[in-house]
Amino acid sequence: MSNPLQAPDKHKLIPRIEWNARNVYGDETSLYFRLSRELIGDGKLLVLASNIPPNQPAPNLFFSAVHYLLMKAENAAHPLREFFPDLADELNTRDDPYPVFRKFCLAHYQEMAKLLRTRSVQVNEIGRCSYFLPAFQLLARQLDGEPFVLIEVGASAGLNLFWDDYAYDFGDAELYGNRASDIVLACELRGDMRPPLDNPTPRVIMRFGIDLDPKDVLDDDAMLWLRALIYPEQVERARRLAGAIELARQHPPLLFPGNALEVVPRALKAIMSDVPVLLFHSFVLNQFTDAARAHYFSILANMSANRCLYDLALEPSDWPAPMTLTKYENGKSSEHSLAICDHLGRWMEWIA
């Protein structure tokens, strides 16, 4: 009879949980950090976590599944909610949350297992638009104001496509972007250099997103899952998401389902070759295999034979994540590093 811990060990769950606790969840008082310390030694819950596909961020998906179930109406009175800052009427800071957390997971074992197998960490983090805004403005300057097409790869619900409907606070007592917007994204600027923020708003003549499983902003359950992906302490981030969803529901974004390796070539063929195209993505290619990533970049190189393409990437090849802008023209590429970024949009160090 096989050891039931073989599957979790195979996916190296424990190191991944430990890494997230140290690098992602914040200080040691955060709920997910406290739960992570106990989870790494819990054989039954590690077996449950083995339902997570190896290409998914295991700790985030596991905790998000619990968060999602807790926000369901049938669990509105569950005592575990008392430990979640975004759900508690009165936060329980006295007791150990893990026994209640463990009991909840075991009581919802089958629901959890299905969620872990079928859902994914498709965070639609609009805070990252704080990085995209200056990058788009930089490109617009390079194009001398020429309009371009904007394509988001891995768009989730497409909320980042509304980047020019948000206001931006970079800490200099001035707002950028749409200053009249109710959605204000705050981003601390670090280092000595400053991003280009005073250029005119880029002229985007068409925008759309591509995703394996695009989320419909009109689908309440899909939006609840997006909400569940936000960590419990990040109450303001959750409010921003709610505002962005409400905005998107007024004019739902154009999203195409499918594998980017198949949809991107079709999309580029449908766009006139004399129109510049910018593809952008954040924390998406890290879920590709090495071969798929290489194929994606080869597509851009091959399809730039008679046109100009740009690829804006915020991908965690290192931590914090670098943001790069790559120009593809006549089959050749030139890459430029623009910034070092926090993964949630909280700070940026511009280096271009």
Question: What digits encode the pLDDT tens for the residues 211-259?
Answer: 999 999 999 999 999 999 999 999 999 999 999 999 999 999 999 999 9
Is pTM beyond 0.85? Reply is: yes
Find, among 224, 230, 229, 221, the residue nearest to 61 by Cα: 229
Overall average pLDDT of the 162-167 stretch? 97
Overall average pLDDT of the 20-30 stretch? 84
First CA to last CA distance, the chain: 57
Sheet containing strand 188-190, edge to edge, reads 188-190, 347-350, 332-341, 321-329, 308-314, 277-282, 148-153, 204-211, 255-257
Burial (0-12, 13-18, 19+ Cβ within 10 Å), 110: exposed
The 3-state DSSP class for residue 112 equals helix
pLDDT at 318: 65
At residue 342, does pLDDT exceed 70? yes
Enter the tokens of residue 161. Answer: 């496509």
In this predicted model, which residue has the larger pLDDT, 303 or 198?
Answer: 303
At residue 8, does pLDDT exceed 50? no
Please write the tens of the pLDDT for every residue from 93-143: 999 999 999 999 999 999 999 999 999 988 899 999 999 999 999 999 999
The CA–CA distances, whole Å, from 313 to 113, 136, 270 equal 33, 12, 23
In the chain, DSSP assigns E strands to 148-153, 167-169, 175-177, 184-186, 188-190, 204-211, 255-257, 277-282, 308-314, 321-329, 332-341, 347-350
Per cent of the chain over pLDDT 70 is: 96
